[in-house]
Amino acid sequence: MKQTHYHTCNLCEAMCGIEIEHRGDEILAIRGDKDDPFSKGHICPKAVALQDLHNDPDRLRHPVKRTADGWVPISWDDALDETARRLHNIQEVHGKDSVALYFGNPTAHNHGALFTLLPFVKALRSRQRYSATSADQLPHMLATWQLFGHQVLFPIPDVDRTDY
């Protein structure tokens, strides 16, 4: 049976409303949701590429561990235990700031992920924190603050009424 589900694509800041038409695990089509109040049916190339990501034969679908014989599947419990142990060891040897955190897309736009990450960030106690903001948009925010008196007053080009 063919079904259509409505989602929000949060691969970028736009958070486009998308329709995903599928049959079981097979994606038949991805298009913009015309009823989405924000994106009104428009989507970016990242949203269109979700099907390619979903079908990629190299996509990880479970945790794996590198061994002398190659990559082997492991359980989520084993993966999380090993990650915690290794992070702890790194910080014990090199200090708490030897582990850095990066918050970006899509995590920064996913409330569930953010609520999960907050206790993790607190437990790491690292000052090394980076984000899409610090790596990308802070210069834009500084420029708009200096030009317009507020850091989020980004000018939007009026392409519809230009001659060029």
State the average pLDDT for the chain: 85
Q: How many domains does the chain have?
A: 2
- End-to-end Cα separation, the chain, in angstroms: 48
In a shared domain, residues 72 and 125: yes
In a shared domain, residues 43 and 91: no
Quote the pLDDT of residue 13: 53
Output the pTM of the full model. Answer: 0.62
68-98 pLDDT, tens digit per residue, is 999 999 999 999 999 999 999 999 999 999 9
Q: What are phi and psi of 51, to 5 degrees?
A: -65, -40
In a shared domain, residues 32 and 69: no
Quote the pLDDT of residue 163: 83
In a shared domain, residues 70 and 127: yes
Quote the pLDDT of residue 56: 92
132-162 pLDDT, tens digit per residue, is 788 778 888 898 899 999 988 877 778 888 8
24-44 pLDDT, tens digit per residue, is 888 888 888 888 887 788 888
